[in-house]
Amino acid sequence: MTKCDICDTQSNEIIYFKREGKTLCNCCKRQEREQIDRVRANKKREFVVI
């Protein structure tokens, strides 16, 4: 049985993703993706201000 490295969810019915050596469930993968997108958006704003 596969387990998410972030939230420790274990299930055969959840789809898991391998990312940078970590195993993530779909929910944690989405949260990580949203966090990366926010950081990129903030960096773009900084470049516009300068």
Residue 49 has pLDDT above 70, yes or no: no
> Number of structural domains, the chain?
1
- Structural domain boundaries, residue 4: 1-50
Asked if 16 and 8 count as a contact pair (C-beta separation under 8 A), the reply is no
48 or 29, which is more confident? 29
Distance CA 6, CA 35 (A): 14
- Condensed to tens digits (0 to 9), the pLDDT of residues 3-43 reads 888 888 888 878 888 878 888 888 889 999 999 999 988 88
- Phi first, then psi: give them for residue 25, nearest 5 degrees: -80, 170
pTM for this model (two decimals): 0.65
- Phi first, then psi: give them for residue 49, nearest 5 degrees: -65, -40
3 state SS of 12 = coil
